[in-house]
Amino acid sequence: MGIPGLIANAFVTEVTIGDGGFAAELTRPEGAQGLVLLVHGVGSDSRSPRSDLVVGLLYEHRFATLQFDLHDPNPADDVADAPVAELGERVVQALEWTQAHRDLAGLRCGLFGADRGAAAALVAAAARPMLVAALVTRGGRPDLAAHVLDRVAAPAMLIVGGHDAEALDLNRAALRRLTGPKRLEVVPRATHQFQEPGALVTAVELAAWWFGLHLATGDRPAGSSAH
């Protein structure tokens, strides 16, 4: 994988998670204030420059990251049709792995999911509420996790592009069903993949702010907001 441009004192480790032994990459700055699991959308690659950008920006905010693919890199696999419950199980396995990793003791965990990975993150947050201290989705498909939304109590921020009308409607509907502190953020002029100049950076900075509220101290906002 490799994260070009990271500060030299980062600790980057290749690890193996779960019964099936899928690969993941743990990046940890000195004095990490929390751990964020990056749940990429199906078809996305944890080795991409965009993933490296997300890791690097979170690193600058002193968040450790654990990134992995939601599927095995087998072109014969029809991952586009993989059940969300199956994808969520991989996230659960990653969460449970963090609890058994001594070097991560004391770090609160957050989930940062994109597209269908957002649905997988929601499924995992509902399945392991005691392990998820905060949740952020970007361009997410919460409708794919509609059966668990009422059980997601972790503080949740839903980030949507301002030019992604379909996702905006889906996320507004999902926001009403979430039971914990919640917030909807719209990035102006961004489309579903956040490929416009500065759009992805804006989304990650919003996520870092939310994770800073809930992972670093465990404090929750006095109120929640929905836009």
The 10s digit of each residue's pLDDT in 125-163 is 999 999 999 999 999 999 999 999 999 999 999 999 999
- From the list 109, 3, 19, the residue with the least C-alpha distance to 72 is 19
Q: Please indicate, yes or no, if residue 220 is contained in any of the structural domains.
A: no
The structural domain count of the chain equals 1
Going by their DSSP bridges, the two strands 35-39 and 156-161 should be labelled as unpaired
**How large is the average pLDDT for residues 196-222?**
85
CATH of the domain at 26: 3.40.50.1820
Q: What is the pLDDT of residue 18?
A: 78
Distance CA 218, CA 47 (A): 31
Strands (E), the chain: 11-17, 22-28, 35-39, 64-68, 109-114, 134-138, 156-161, 182-187
Residues 174 and 181: their CA atoms lie apart, in Å, by: 13
Helical axes 199-214 vs 49-60, angle rounded to 10°:
40
pLDDT at 105: 81
Residue 210 covered by a domain: yes
Q: How confident is the model at residue 187 (pLDDT cuts 50, 70, 90)?
A: very high
Q: Average pLDDT in the 199-225 region?
A: 79
pLDDT at 10: 64
Specify the pLDDT at position 113: 96
166: containing domain: 11-214
Confidence of residue 220 (pLDDT cuts 50, 70, 90): very low
How do strand 64-68 and strand 109-114 relate by DSSP bridges?
unpaired
Rounded Cα–Cα distance for residues 187 and 113 (Å): 16
- For residue 22, the model assigns a pLDDT of 87
Q: How many other β-carbons are positioned within 10 Å of the β-carbon of residue 219?
A: 10
Q: Does the residue 24 lie in any domain?
A: yes
Residue 87: the pLDDT is 92
Per-residue pLDDT averaged across 87-93, rounded? 94
Output the pLDDT for position 27. Answer: 95
Sheet arrangement for strand 109-114: 11-17, 22-28, 64-68, 35-39, 109-114, 134-138, 156-161, 182-187
pLDDT, tens digit (0-9, with 9 covering 90-100), for 23-68: 899 999 989 999 999 998 765 555 678 889 999 999 999 999 999 8
Tell me if 219 is assigned to some domain. no
Average pLDDT over residues 169-179: 97
Instruction: Provide the 3-class DSSP secondary structure of residue 149.
Output: helix
- Is the CB of residue 12 less than 8 Å from the CB of residue 3? yes
Distance CA 164, CA 171 (A): 11
d(CA 59, CA 56): 5
The span from the CA of 177 to the CA of 97, in Å, is: 29
For residue 6, tell me if it sits in a domain: no
Beta bridge partners of 161: 187
**Residue 151, CB-side half-sphere exposure with 13 Å CA sphere:** 14
Q: Whole-prediction pTM value? A: 0.89
Residue 86 within any structural domain of the chain: yes
Q: What's residue 43's pLDDT?
A: 55
